[in-house]
């Protein structure tokens, strides 16, 4: 076969292969991700997590991360973060308390940093400056989470303006993305339950084999 014939045959084969490859790639896209870019089953998993929350007596609350919540509403800055939390409330009137937790942490049969931190009941680390938010300080210093919005005194929190009392919840967010109310976890470590005791409500039940992720911090 001549060089010219070989070249012509090569182009002919390439013309056949390329449409086949393109067709395979196009067929694979819908099965590898949802129309919104989510993974298959993401919607059903979210629905199951929501159902688990309400089955356990929790409320589904949609919150937005807002910076500068200590200021007048006009000076507050809504951020991009939005999340639905499962929240539990107990008590009446001025004695009402609430705790908030992300849906995955509550409903997953696997641990998250938030669930292990809560179950570990690490003694709270209190700031020397009484003007500081003790729960945020304990989250940052004692648990290695993040509870502050920047490094200024402006503050911030997760807001649902429609809530009659608990409009702002202060969340301790961990490196795996899990989150739990920083006041709830601080009080629980000190022996006081706010909203509900989450230990029996978690789907994740470690028994006597709680992972050693948290230890009493150095003060």
For 129-182, the pLDDT digits (tens) are 877 889 999 999 999 999 999 988 788 999 999 999 999 999 999 999 999 999
**Is 170 inside a domain boundary?**
yes
pLDDT at 34 over 90: no
pLDDT in tens, 185-206: 999 999 999 999 999 999 999 9
**Is 106 inside a domain boundary?**
yes
Which residues constitute the domain of residue 59? 45-189
**Is 111 inside a domain boundary?**
yes
**Is 58 inside a domain boundary?**
yes
Residues in contact with 34: Cβ distance below 8 Å, sequence separation at least 6, in sequence order: 40, 42, 43
Residues in contact with 138: Cβ distance below 8 Å, sequence separation at least 6, in sequence order: 124, 125, 126, 182, 185, 186
**Is 82 inside a domain boundary?**
yes
Coil, helix or strand at residue 2: coil
pLDDT over 70 percentage in the chain: 79
Closest by CA to 195, choosing from 67, 56, 34, 64, is 56
Structure tokens that stand for 142 in this block: 């004692």
How buried is 94 (Cβ within 10 angstroms: 0-12 exposed, 13-18 middle, 19+ buried)?
exposed
**Is 150 inside a domain boundary?**
yes
**Is 127 inside a domain boundary?**
yes
Total domains, the chain: 1
**Is 120 inside a domain boundary?**
yes
Q: Which of 59-63, 157-161, 208-212 has the lowest mean pLDDT?
A: 208-212
């Amino acid at each position: 076969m001549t060089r010219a014939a070989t070249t012509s045959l090569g182009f002919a084969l390439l013309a056949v292969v390329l449409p086949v490859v393109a067709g395979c790639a196009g067929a694979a896209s819908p099965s590898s991700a949802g129309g919104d870019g989510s993974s298959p089953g993401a919607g059903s998993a979210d629905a199951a997590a929501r159902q688990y929350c309400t089955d356990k007596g929790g409320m589904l609350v949609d919150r937005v991360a807002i910076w500068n919540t200590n200021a007048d509403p006009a000076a507050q800055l809504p951020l991009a973060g939005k999340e639905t939390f499962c929240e539990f409330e107990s008590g009446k009137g001025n004695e009402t308390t609430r705790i908030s937790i992300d849906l995955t942490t509550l409903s997953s049969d696997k641990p998250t940093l938030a669930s292990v931190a809560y179950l570990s009941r690490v003694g709270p680390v209190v700031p020397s400056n009484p003007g500081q938010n003790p729960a945020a300080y304990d989250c940052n210093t004692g648990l290695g989470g993040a509870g502050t919005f920047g490094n200024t005194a402006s503050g911030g929190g997760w807001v649902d303006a429609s809530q009659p009392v608990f409009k702002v919840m202060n969340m301790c967010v961990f490196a795996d993305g899990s989150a739990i109310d920083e006041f709830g976890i601080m009080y629980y470590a000190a022996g006081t339950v706010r909203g509900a005791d989450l230990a029996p409500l978690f789907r994740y039940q470690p028994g006597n084999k709680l992972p050693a992720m948290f230890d009493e911090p150095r003060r």
